[in-house]
């Protein structure tokens, strides 16, 4: 997931959001797919072990990796789009229904930095 977010952030900001998402998926999609496939195959091979605990673990792990891959290339991409639209519209992280002014966000950021600096000095 972090690889995908980092790839989207590396794209030029003058491109439309759909283009940035598309380029990021083209860039990191094959590596995500190959990594997931190799993990699924490894756990599938592990499901042929005669020990019941290892067999059940391997079957569930293969299913979990497969579902993670599906969610990563579908739902997580949609959530990335929502997050980029939220930041473009200057909305607050935890409360996206509240629109924040840039000056207020900068003041909060400065206050947090100053309080962290004071804690680090102590």
Cβ contacts of 9 within 8 Å, gap of 6 or more: none
20, 8 Cβ separation under 8 angstroms? yes
This model's pTM is above 0.85: no
Q: Answer yes or no: do 104 and 84 share one domain.
A: no
User: What distance in Å separates the CA atoms of residue 58 and residue 117, rounded to the nearest whole number?
Assistant: 47
Residues 28, 9 share a domain: yes
Are 97 and 53 in the same domain? no
Per the structure block, which two tokens stand in for 83? 């997050």
The per-residue pLDDT for range 51-103, each reduced to its tens digit, is: 999 999 999 999 999 999 999 999 999 999 998 888 888 777 777 777 766 66
Residues 6 and 51 in one domain: yes
* Range(s) of the domain holding residue 111: 92-122
């Amino acid at each position: 997931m972090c690889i995908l977010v980092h790839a989207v952030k590396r794209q030029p900001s003058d491109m439309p959001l759909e283009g940035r998402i598309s380029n990021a998926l083209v860039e990191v999609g094959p590596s995500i797919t190959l990594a997931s496939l190799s993990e699924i195959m490894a756990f599938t091979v592990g499901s042929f072990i005669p020990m019941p605990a290892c067999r059940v673990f391997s079957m569930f792990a293969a299913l979990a990796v497969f579902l993670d891959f599906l969610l990563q290339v579908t739902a997580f991409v949609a959530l990335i789009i929502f997050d980029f639209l939220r930041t473009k519209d200057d909305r607050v992280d935890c409360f996206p229904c509240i629109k924040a002014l840039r000056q207020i966000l900068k003041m909060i950021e400065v206050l947090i930095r100053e309080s962290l600096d004071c804690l680090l000095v102590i």
